[in-house]
Structure 1
Amino acid sequence: MAMRVVVLVGTKKGAFLIESDAARRSWSLRGPFCEAWPINHVIAEPGTGRILAGGGNEWFGPAVWASDDLGATWTHSSNGMAYGEGEPPIRSVWSLAATNGSVYAGVEPAGLFRSADRGETWDHVSGLREHPSRPHWQPGAGGLILHSLVIDPADDRRLWVGISAGGVFHSADGGARWEPRNRGTRADFNPEDQRYPEHGQCVHCLVKAPGPPDLLYQQNHCGMYRSADGGKSWQSIEAGLPSSFGFPAATHPRDPDTLYLVPLNGDSAGRYVPDGKVAVWRTRDGGANWQDLREGLPQRNAYLNVLRQALATDRLEPAGVYFGTGTGALFASADEGDSWACIAEHLPTITSVETLVLNG
């Protein structure tokens, strides 16, 4: 049966779907969808192909959009997506994850919601905002957002979230209780004697590797890290990279030691790719060594950035790798990053990239 790849793209002006066959040489684009709302994250529900898009509208507030026919028609809902009386209003949905019939949404101001009916209605997972550290969470440059949401595929009661700037938190019971998981990650913006706090780090992206149940990777405002114990401790793996600063990270679909990054030139030097030359950096050994991948990517006067959710892989063999830029270009590799092609350009600012592989 022929396979198809759909790249799910969130942008500042709606969602787009970009499709190819398994060869990944020719692509067709559809969109914008979601009435051109600002969309922060677009995902596909495992096993069903249902597409979910989370975002927020300045006038209408947050919502999760849904399509069961690959974008032909859409509905959206924010039913129940509010904190209690006296709490701030929710501005936007920033991250989505779906598992076993449930959908989770991370929002701004930072908090977590769950839907048991595939996004029709929402319940607040209140345990996270009840954590004693919450009054000390501070907004990063993008706001106080829960942007990384990781669910253990082998046990959907195990959750990890990344908050800017609150840190990484873990729950082993479906969100009732949480604990910070930040030991070993720096907070260079703090006074020198407070560089390694229990919480308050500015997480940029948190991803889980395939295979080992507790292997995580984290791109932080202050470094790149690996954890083999579910975030209880973190080890720096930034040696060999051109910068310790960046936003996205993406794991290989099958190899837990292969990871992709797009480092930027620093938090106060422009936040664009170093020297205006685009490169995706890949490790094949869990961060011990890094290789810059540049073939087919702009190597002159390319002062662009890649946001925290705008880098992804597909599950084909060899794996495809994709990233979108702040300038609205989408790049793809069908050979695990060895070579690249631009498959869409002149889109609005790209906020997220995910993939869906279909049989037939």
Structure 2
Amino acid sequence: MSNHGFATRAIHAGQAPDPSTGAIMTPIYQTSTYVQTSPGEFIQNYDYSRSANPTRTALEANIASLEGGKHGIAFASGVASLAACIHLLKTGDHVLLCDDVYGGTFRMFNNVFNQLGIEFSRVDMTNLDATRAAMTNKTKLVWLETPTNPTLKVIDIAAVAQIAHDGGALCVADNTFASPYLQNPLALGADIVSHSCTKYLGGHSDLVGGILVVKNRELADRLYYVQNAVGAVPAPMDCFLLLRSTKTLHVRMDRHCSNAETIADWLTQRSEIDRVIYPGLESHPQHNIAAKQMRGFGGMITMTLKGGLPASRKFLESLKIFSLAESLGGVESLVEHPAIMTHASVDADKRAALGIDDGLVRLSCGIEDGSDLIADLEQALDAAAKA
């Protein structure tokens, strides 16, 4: 369905009515094993559900289509997707990581794979000269997020992919914050695109999952091998829920974006806030890059409150519609404190260097009525100002 529009592919790609019953929804194939017609002869190549499951196959094809790729490889979580990429490497290889990433990504490199001899270093990938200089003859993987978590830096995917390829490395782009609706890294030169499906792809805060999408068949086969060998695969029910969710991704993302744009503009007028970071604001340092490679600016806003931890704590405790919780991308609005919550695993000095201080708050703008969200933020800011 590559010649169809995004909305059509979101609803139909990878899925067809069940031939045995005509069911419009892909069934939940809740089975661990499959009958063989003769030893080693499988019906439609299914033998064991760790290796493949029809519900997962439909999901993988659906998201691959949305990302403009050919092969989707689904996992039980976003960090399981990350781990699969690192399993492509060997002891002594080097990974170049963008400096501002999800805390769990940093933890994986720093505390899990680093001790196995896979080295990594971090660089501000908004600085292309610094990125180029950070490449080594051992660099085999360049990992970037854009927009980054939580400071919403926007990285030029095409430029960084070219730097990676010039150095003989693969380029992986974590597209979780943007979603396939707003940005397609494969079209910009990335070799692998990664998602935490828990976020916008799932969109309803009721599942955990991850996926990788690639164009190259050989690379896909290597990742399928890791998927099967390591076995961190999603359950059929989670795949079914994700297929339900991708059908409305385009509708949800439009509302996430419109709410965030309105809220970001409003926040810039508030005296209680030192800084509002949103790629859609012309004040954002990489606004022009975002406008070039994204079709919308997303639903995430980061802001720094005056008054440090006491003010931010009172603000967070006073919100009524925004829920204080980790994660993002659900239909409901969420808010969190990165230094204490999602990025607590990052060393304090590294957090400080990135600007992740006690006044930093991250908003995930949901799809509620925008006026209600602004009213909620207003009463919480008023409460914080009195703290």
* Higher CA-based Rg: 2
Give the TM-score normalised by the residue count of structure 1: 0.25
Give the TM-score normalised by the residue count of structure 2: 0.24
**More helix by percentage:** 2
**More strand by percentage:** 1
- Highest RCO, 1 vs 2 (Cα 8 Å, sep ≥ 6): 2
